[in-house]
Amino acid sequence: MSTAQRTRVGFWRDALVRDVLSMALAMAIVGASLGAIAVSEGVPLWMITLMGAVVFAGGSEFMAVGLLAAGAAPVTAVLSGLLLNARHLPFGLAVGGLFGRSWPRRLLGSHLMVDESVAFALAQDTPEEKRRAYWLTGTALYCAWAPSVFLGGLLGQGVGDPGAFGLDAAMPAALLALIVPSLREFRTLRAVVVGVLVAVLTTPVLPEGLPVVAALVGLAAALPLPKALEEAR
C-alpha cells in the first residue's frame, strides 16, 4: 500500500472524522427540513438558500421563517436572530485564537462558528488538535448545510406539506439531542424548564414564532442564584 493510500485509510479511520461526518449527515437532514418548511410557508427558494449560505445558523433561520410566516416585520426576525445568537460572543472569546491572525482567516473562522464546531474544538487537548477539529467541523457542516437547504426547498415545492414526511420534526429532534447531555447540570436544566414553560404558556396567545423568542427569558434562570438561596438549596 502506497503512502498516499495509507494516509487516506488513516483519515477515514480517524474517530474525529467519523464523528464530524455523522454530525454533517444529521445537519443535512435538518437543513433539508428547513428548506422544505420555508418554501411551503411561502418563503422564496432563493431567499432561504441565501440565508443558509450567509446566515449559517439553523436555530435563527427556523425562527426567522416562523416569524416571517406569521406576518412579523423583517426587522423583528433579524433582531430575534441576533438575540438568539448572542451566545456566539463568549464562543468567540473561547475559540478566537484558533483562527489565525490574518483578516480573511478570522472572517471565515467567525462564519464557521456554530455550536458543533466550538464543541468539537473545546473537546480536544492540544491547540493543534483544537484548531484541526474546529476547521474540519465548521467546513464539513457548512458544506452539508447550505446545499441541503436548497435541495430541501426544491423538495418543498413538490411536497406541499413537509409534515407529511415528518420534516417539521427534524429540527426539534436535533436540538433535543444536542441539549440532553447538558441537562445533567442543574442550572442548565433550570433554564430549559423555565423556557419550555414560557413557550407552552404563550403559544395560545402569541403569533407563531414569538413564543420561541419569549422563551429566551429562561436564560435568566441559568444565572447564579443569590448566595443565601444557593446555600438553602
pLDDT at residue 140 in the model? 93
- pLDDT tens sequence across 76-114: 778 777 777 777 777 888 888 888 888 888 899 888 888
Angle, alpha carbons 50-133-5 (nearest 5°): 100
Confidence tier at 5 by pLDDT (50, 70, 90) = very low
147 or 38, which is more confident: 147
**Secondary structure class of 222 (helix, strand, coil):** helix
pLDDT of 228 strictly over 50: no
Look at residue 99 in the predicted model and tell me its pLDDT.
Answer: 86
pLDDT of residue 181: 63
Instruction: State how far the Cα of 164 lies from the Cα of 160, in Å rounded to an integer.
Output: 9
pLDDT score at 175: 60
Interval 127-186: pLDDT, tens: 898 999 999 999 999 999 989 999 988 887 766 555 555 555 655 665 666 566 666 777
**10 pLDDT exceeds 70?**
no
Average pLDDT, integer, range 32-51: 86
Q: Give the mean model confidence (pLDDT) for residues 57-74.
A: 77
Instruction: Kindly tell me if the per-residue pLDDT of 63 is higher than 80.
Output: no
Q: Show me where the domains of the chain are located.
A: 3-179, 185-233
HSE, side-chain direction, 13 A CA sphere, residue 7: 3
Query: What does the mean pLDDT of the chain come to?
Result: 77
Looking at residue 145, its pLDDT comes to: 92
Contact indicator for 121, 7 with CB cutoff of 8 Å: no
pLDDT of residue 217: 76
End-to-end CA distance of the chain: 62
Query: What would you report as the CA-atom Rg of the chain, rounded to the nearest whole angstrom?
Result: 20
